[in-house]
Amino acid sequence: MDITQLITDELKRLEESKTYKYETALASPQDGVVRVGARKLVMLASNNYLGMSNHPVVKRAAMEGIKKYGYGVASARFLCGTQTIHRQLEKKISKFVGAEDTILFSSSFAANVGFFAALTNEKLGFETYKDAIYSDRLNHASIIDGQRLCRPEVTDKKIYHHADANHLEQLLEEDKGKDYRLRIIATDGVFSMEGDMAPLHRLAELAKHYNALLFVDDAHGIGVVGKTGRGTAEHFGVLGKVDVLIGTLGKAIGGAAGGFISGSRELVEYLRQKARTYVFSNSLPPSIVTATMAAFDLLMKDKSIVRRLHENTAYFRKEIKGLGFTILEGTHPIVPIMLGEASLAQDMSAALLKEGVYIKGLWFPVVPRGEARLRAQISAALRKSDLDRALDAFGHVGKRLGVI
Ligand SMILES: *Cc1c(COP(=O)(O)O)cnc(C)c1O
């Protein structure tokens, strides 16, 4: 078998089915306006919701981190990779989200891959047992992969309709008589294709009623959603009712890398022993740890940052609708602009790029057929003039392509 031929065929198939992912290299930091080649583009495609990726305070803290604590620790946490700053950051995050304790991972992908198997594959005093995981149909790839590591003989996996608490309730009710050891409800806080949120107030009620653990991956929520940026739980008034909260340091909070799990003291202590992506993987570099602390401090001290994000989002949502575009309603800075056909989404993102707007399109199979869209992501780093420049371009291009 010729492996090169096999993978070349597959690459060709990806191109033909328009699912090949192209990379455009930025010649500048991530920011509200970026440089590609010689051109300056308004960035509407990043997860840099709070504009911290290139914030002077965050950058200075990263440099201080290197000066005081070095470049890397060259060790997993339990060997010799824990510095005082790692514990400080974990305490800071716990305080921010209102949890007893927090454990850092090299990414939130790693957090999710480490979490599920750490619980379900362990006997914990049981000779025979079975656990059940209830997952939202649109959960992130890392949650799905994390669950793939759960041994099927001891884990039943069930999928409920997207954001549908009634369907989840039905599944939990059907399983009421089964003597599962653990029941875990797993959901994204914010879903990145739609910009919508899991109904956490309902899920928290169900978790309590059916004695299940509520797991929420709030990668697009922490620093973004809720009046003070504490995430989807704050939005729904259930702060402190999420048993297992996942967050990323690779989006709103600095955008470099890293993830965390916040929960009870016992759960975090247990994960430090059992989560394989923690035990067998390197500790977060000092510069990221100190910069992340500065990012959280900024977020807590300067309330205007989140406010600006929310104001920019409301403005963009209102104006883009005013131009005649159809968007998915909501309040999140992820704003899906619905176009229908994949070819239209492709043409429109190419035309917008020429007019100075960096935006990405999504089409089948990433989203359902006929629901191709451009996904705008709004940031506090965008000035009103940047937003207006982008909206002008949307107006021109939309008219030229007959969308509005
Ligand atoms: C982006 C994202 C991740 C991955 O985050 P990293 O820290 O970059 O690994 C995980 N879960 C969800 C829901 C995400 O949106």
* Domain match, 359 and 326 both: yes
pLDDT, average across residues 229-250: 97
Q: Which of 17-21, 134-138, 252-256, 324-328 has the lowest mean pLDDT?
A: 17-21
Q: What percent of the chain has pLDDT over 70?
A: 100
Instruction: Report the chain's mean pLDDT, rounded to a whole number.
Output: 97
pLDDT, average across residues 177-198: 97
pLDDT at 366 exceeding the cut of 90 = no
CATH label of the domain that carries residue 118: 3.40.640.10
Asked whether 137 and 125 are in contact (CB, 8 A), the reply is no
Residues 6+ apart with CB under 8 A from 168: 134, 160, 185, 203, 206
* Domain match, 311 and 335 both: yes
CA-wise closest residue to 335 among 326, 348, 343, 344: 326
* Domain match, 292 and 308 both: no
Phi, psi (degrees; rounded to nearest 5) at 293: -60, -40
* Domain match, 109 and 166 both: yes
CATH label of the domain that carries residue 44: 3.90.1150.10
Q: Does 220 qualify as catalytic in the annotation?
A: yes
Residues with CB under 6 Å of ligand 1 are: 107-109, 140, 142, 188, 192, 217, 219-220, 248, 250, 259
Pick the residue whose CA is nearest to atom 14 on ligand 1: 219
* Domain match, 290 and 370 both: no
pLDDT digits (tens, 9 = 90+) for 271-320: 999 999 999 999 999 999 999 999 999 999 999 999 999 999 999 999 99
* Domain match, 204 and 284 both: yes
Report CA(262)–ligand 1 centroid distance (Å): 15
Last residue of a domain, one of 257, 272, 301: 301
Residue 333 belongs to domain spanning: 3-54+303-400
Last residue of a domain, one of 237, 272, 301: 301
* Domain match, 166 and 265 both: yes
Give the model's pLDDT for residue 207: 98
* Domain match, 310 and 226 both: no
- Among the options 157, 235, 251, 332, which is catalytic? 251
* Domain match, 108 and 8 both: no
Give the model's pLDDT for residue 402: 96
| Predicted TM-score of the model (pTM) | 0.97
Last residue of a domain, one of 301, 324, 354: 301
Q: Does 396 qualify as catalytic in the annotation?
A: no
Q: Does 123 qualify as catalytic in the annotation?
A: no
Give the model's pLDDT for residue 174: 98
Helices (H), 175-264: 200-209, 232-235
Collapse the DSSP code of 94 into the 3-class scheme (helix H, G, I; strand E, B; otherwise coil) and give the result: helix
* Domain match, 246 and 279 both: yes
pLDDT digits (tens, 9 = 90+) for 206-230: 999 999 999 999 999 999 999 999 9
Report CA(219)–ligand 1 centroid distance (Å): 5
* Domain match, 144 and 260 both: yes
pLDDT digits (tens, 9 = 90+) for 58-86: 999 999 999 999 999 999 999 999 999 99
* Domain match, 289 and 317 both: no
Predicted confidence band of residue 20 (pLDDT cuts 50, 70, 90): confident
pLDDT, average across residues 37-50: 97
pLDDT digits (tens, 9 = 90+) for 369-391: 999 999 999 999 999 999 999 99
Instruction: Quote the tokens at residue 21.
Output: 């992912």
Count of domains for the chain: 2
In whole angstroms, give the CA distance from residue 379 to residue 47: 8
Give the model's pLDDT for residue 364: 87
pLDDT at 1 exceeding the cut of 90 = no
In whole angstroms, give the CA distance from residue 304 to residue 394: 28
Residues 6+ apart with CB under 8 A from 106: 257, 258, 259, 277, 281, 282, 284
